[in-house]
Amino acid sequence: MININARREQYKGFDIVVKLLGFFDDPSASRYWYCGYVRVPVDHKFYCMDYGEIERSVNVHGGITFFGGLQGLDGFYIGFDCGHGGDTPQMQDEEYTLNECMRLVDQLIEVGDAI
């Protein structure tokens, strides 16, 4: 699997990363999809928390499918992918994934305020 694209944004003080990932071994069967990640601040209750608790507390496309560090970036990230059955990179594109990341940030703020 290779990362062929990455976009970094800031939204309400949170770092967002959108990546286009894929397998390109056979051009006739190439498969790619977008993934979105949000950096969780050190003082947030989800910082380094177990996947299960995070998954039960937020709603994002396909559910949380990643938590941990991203190569080359500092911090603890949670994320999701748009590589589920029925997903297409034309429908779940970069903008869609970025908007889902922003929606995830809004939920993290809401959960954080509830502490």
pTM of this structure: 0.89
Q: What is the mean pLDDT of each run of 10 residues along the chain (115 residues)?
A: 78 96 66 93 90 88 94 94 90 96 96 67
pLDDT tens, residue by residue, 47-58: 988 888 888 899
Q: Give the angle subtended at the CA of 65 by the CAs of 67 and 74, to the nearest 5°.
A: 25
What pLDDT score does 52 carry? 83
d(C-alpha 25, C-alpha 57), whole Å: 37
Containing H/E element for 84? none
Nearest one of 79, 99, 78, 96 to 87, comparing CA atoms: 96
